[in-house]
């Protein structure tokens, strides 16, 4: 290798050009030694500048097959090529450091120096251009194939409407061959009555008003008949926006058009019957739910004008709270499925009224639609409501009297012993049995409210997976003591009964109440039978629990009333809440209860509960242990000030930092602005303006790591459903129970808190 020619010192401007040139720039001397190598050369060929400079070009990017010719060309170069030009440009290939070839466009500029020629080469990588050229050819071939073999008619016209190219489907549609149509103008095959339709479409596209038009028009078949088509035409422009040609898809809709004409004739007859009907009728579009037509009777019933109806959907005649259910039902069964049932509708003046509706799928003005037949049930329901109201008032009277009687007894105990205790403490005397009496009355009052909530199905249940046989077996000693020795107790457990999901305490109360009811029906003794089972066949998903006796039975006129609150035939004994409580617990647990009885032949109560394949959980920690303390921060949201103060005092007693909120707005303000970490929100389910579940959702947005513990005396539907897996503490609660539940929620695994 000869010594390289001395390098030229490049100025700053030349160095910048070399650095940022979009092409590879390589300088070599006449011996082939590399003098300069810019960053783009590094990217294209893989050699760094340090590796390349000083090497022979033939040892780097010249393919082996070209190296001899390359060296010979350098050696004999005299400044001119075959054409007499000094600069040369041609396409060639270069060798990448990794051994693959790179297509190149090469421009060589020779420069004489005292030490010989220096050659500056500008090399442009043609790989992407070659790929794009191949992709373009492939795309054009795909377009040609798609155009020619499309199942729908396709045509390409110039901006004057002359066919440049048509496909087989379009030619067959009009009865011509493809060459016969090529060169014709579209008006040559257009129905005379539709000349202007096509001309208007081209004018709108040429002006740039629209790029695509969708029109229906008529062509004339070669045999003279009319062909109705739907046409989608798109203008294609060059880079300057000048329109070049129009490509269009054409669909033969002749059959559809003839059918629509026949349909319009039949719809006219239908319209007369629809409009003159004395019953309200509406038609809405299946896809959009938009109202398409109403008759005069509907206008009178709802109070909207026809023009107002046409701007509405069927959602607008339903109360807002029913719209989500309406849309869910339509998604589930579809608008095209017939429906009959009772619904609530809303008039223009905002009043709601009950209707019976029947829906039928129809085709209206060429659209899939639904016909709704409406019957106003307001007057009928008013008469029914008057009769039911009288019955309800009688039941409410019994309820009020029974509650007042029992609660007044408990309040008398609480108030009386509370006064005695206050006087003792004022005299400096030690409390006696007064606190126990107050605690007894409090528990009895709580039991009464739980019974009320049970038959109203508003109590807070804590369902667990239970082995039904084990639960009944565990109660046997208690039942024998409760009913007395004069009654024989027979327990029959079916191994197939399986497991159910229920509140253990409430299930015990159900069995005990039924057993006590049976005891009272057998004052002279008898037989109490408690049996479990599993229904077979289609009802195999239900476990059963039967409580039967051989007592006096139930009279036919009494049987319909036995589950009513405070209804009792035991004059002077009992509250009348026992069977009402049983009914409420069973139904709130998702079950059913049936009773069969005849006077003198005893009674049989059969409870059906949903069976579950789940496994009972392992026993938890000892509830008698002292509740653990904590140091976290708890936000207490409770609108009842005395309950809030109690909860705050209990939690502070157990070491927690407590923030107080009297309402949801106050709680959200604290959650969003207080700089301290808030580990748990303790909130009532029923709160003013913002229900507890919604407050919890917003709290979790502000405090993503925060936990939530709900509390409630009963679950009201107005508060919204609690999220799956929600932690809840029932009222009334004790100090140790609150402390234990707060600790449990804080210690629960991440992601397990709702």
73-132 per-position pLDDT tens digit = 887 877 765 555 567 888 889 999 999 999 998 888 888 888 888 888 899 988 888 887
Longest dimension (CA), the chain: 138
**In Å, how far are 323, 326, 349, 351, 718 from 319, measured between CA atoms?**
7, 10, 12, 9, 16
Q: What is the pLDDT of residue 572?
A: 43
Q: What is the pLDDT of residue 567?
A: 62
Q: What is the pLDDT of residue 719?
A: 42
Q: What is the pLDDT of residue 176?
A: 92
Residue 292 and residue 284 in contact, taking contact as beta carbons nearer than 8 Å: yes
Residue 745: CB atoms within 10 A of its CB come to 21
Helix (H) or strand (E) holding 228: strand 226-237
Q: Round to the nearest angstrom and report the end-to-end CA distance of the chain.
A: 80
Q: What is the pLDDT of residue 394?
A: 54
| Total-model pTM | 0.37
Dist. CA 322–CA 328, nearest whole Å: 10
Per-residue pLDDT of 208-228, as tens digits, reads 777 788 888 899 999 999 999
Sign of the Cα pseudo-torsion (58, 63, 67, 71, in order): negative
Sorted by sequence, the CB contacts under 8 Å of residue 541 that are 6+ apart come out as: 535, 610, 611
Q: Which residues of the chain have pLDDT under 50?
A: 1-9, 395, 454-457, 571-575, 620, 716-719
Tokens matching residue 514 = 């039924």
Q: What is the pLDDT of residue 8?
A: 46
Q: What is the pLDDT of residue 265?
A: 67
Q: What is the pLDDT of residue 140?
A: 66
**Pairing, β 487-492 against β 526-534:** parallel
Q: What is the pLDDT of residue 574?
A: 47
Dist. CA 725–CA 65, nearest whole Å: 75
Q: What is the pLDDT of residue 627?
A: 77
Q: What is the pLDDT of residue 85?
A: 54
Q: What is the pLDDT of residue 568?
A: 65
Dist. CA 512–CA 578, nearest whole Å: 9
Residue 674: CB atoms within 10 A of its CB come to 14
């Amino acid at each position: 290798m000869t010594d390289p020619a001395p390098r030229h010192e490049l100025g700053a401007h030349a160095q910048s050009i070399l650095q940022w040139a979009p092409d590879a720039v390589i300088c070599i001397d006449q011996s082939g030694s590399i003098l300069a190598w810019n960053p783009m050369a590094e990217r294209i060929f893989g050699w760094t500048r340090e590796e390349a400079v000083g090497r022979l070009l033939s040892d780097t990017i010249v393919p082996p097959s070209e190296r001899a010719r390359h060296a010979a060309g350098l050696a004999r170069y005299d400044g001119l090529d075959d054409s007499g030009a000094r600069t040369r440009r041609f396409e060639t290939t270069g060798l990448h450091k990794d051994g693959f070839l790179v297509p190149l466009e090469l421009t060589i500029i020779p420069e004489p120096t005292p030490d010989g020629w220096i050659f500056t080469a500008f090399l442009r990588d043609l790989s992407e251009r070659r790929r794009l050229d191949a992709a373009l050819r492939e795309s054009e071939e795909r377009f040609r194939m798609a155009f020619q073999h499309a199942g729908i008619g396709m045509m390409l016209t110039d901006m004057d409407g002359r066919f440049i190219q048509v496909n087989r489907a379009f030619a067959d549609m009009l009865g011509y061959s493809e060459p016969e149509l090529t060169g014709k103008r579209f008006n040559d095959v257009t129905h005379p009555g539709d000349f202007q339709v096509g001309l208007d479409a081209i004018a709108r596209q040429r002006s740039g008003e629209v790029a695509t038009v969708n029109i229906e028009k008529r062509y004339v078949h070669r045999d003279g008949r009319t062909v109705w088509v739907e046409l989608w035409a798109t203008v294609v422009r060059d880079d300057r926006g000048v329109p070049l040609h129009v490509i269009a898809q054409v669909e033969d809709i002749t059959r559809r058009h003839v059918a629509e004409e026949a349909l319009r004739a039949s719809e006219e007859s239908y319209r007369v019957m629809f409009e003159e009907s004395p019953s309200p009728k509406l038609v809405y579009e299946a896809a959009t739910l938009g109202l398409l037509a109403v008759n005069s009777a509907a206008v009178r019933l709802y109070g909207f004008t026809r023009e107002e109806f046409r701007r509405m959907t069927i959602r607008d005649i339903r109360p807002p709270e029913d719209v989500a259910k309406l849309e869910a039902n339509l998604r589930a069964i579809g608008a095209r499925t017939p429906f009959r049932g009772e619904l609530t509708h809303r008039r223009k003046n905002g009043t709601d009224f009950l209707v019976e509706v029947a829906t039928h799928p129809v085709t209206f003005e060429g659209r899939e639609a639904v016909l709704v037949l409406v019957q106003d049930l307001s007057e009928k329901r008013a008469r029914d409501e008057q009769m039911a109201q009288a019955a309800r008032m009688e039941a409410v009277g019994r309820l009020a009297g029974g509650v007042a009687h029992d609660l007044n007894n408990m309040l008398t105990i609480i108030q009386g012993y509370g006064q005695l205790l206050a006087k003792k403490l004022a005299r400096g005397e030690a409390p006696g049995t007064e606190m126990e009496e107050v605690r007894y009355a409090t528990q009895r009052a709580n039991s009464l409210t739980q019974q009320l909530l049970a038959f109203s199905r508003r109590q807070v249940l804590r369902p667990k997976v239970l082995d039904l046989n084990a639960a009944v077996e565990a109660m046997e000693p208690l039942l024998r003591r409760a009913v007395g020795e004069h009654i024989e107790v027979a327990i029959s457990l079916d191994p197939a009964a399986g497991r159910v999901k229920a509140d253990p305490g409430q299930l015990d109360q159900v069995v005990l109440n039924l057993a006590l009811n049976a005891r009272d029906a057998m004052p002279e003794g008898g037989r109490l039978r408690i049996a479990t089972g599993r229904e077979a066949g289609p009802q195999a998903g239900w476990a059963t629990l039967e409580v039967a006796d051989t007592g006096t039975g139930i009279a036919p006129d009494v049987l319909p009333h036995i589950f009513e609150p405070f209804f009792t035939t035991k004059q002077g004994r009992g509250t009348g809440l026992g069977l009402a409580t049983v009914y409420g617990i069973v139904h709130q647990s998702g079950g059913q209860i049936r009773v069969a009885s005849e006077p003198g032949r005893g009674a049989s109560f059969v409870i059906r509960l949903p069976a579950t394949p789940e496994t009972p959980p392992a026993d938890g920690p000892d509830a008698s242990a002292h509740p653990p303390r904590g140091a976290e921060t708890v936000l207490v949201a409770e609108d009842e000030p005395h309950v809030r103060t109690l909860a705050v005092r209990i939690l502070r007693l157990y070491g927690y930092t407590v923030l107080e909120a009297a309402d949801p707005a106050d709680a959200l303000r604290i959650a969003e602005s207080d700089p301290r970490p808030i580990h748990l929100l303790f909130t009532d389910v029923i709160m003013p303006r913002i229900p507890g579940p919604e407050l919890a959702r917003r709290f979790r947005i502000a405090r993503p790591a925060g936990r939530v513990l709900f509390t409630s005396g009963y679950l009201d539907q107005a508060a919204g459903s609690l999220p799956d897996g929600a932690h809840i503490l029932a009222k009334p609660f004790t100090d140790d129970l609150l402390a234990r539940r707060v600790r449990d929620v804080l210690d629960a695994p991440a992601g397990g808190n709702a």
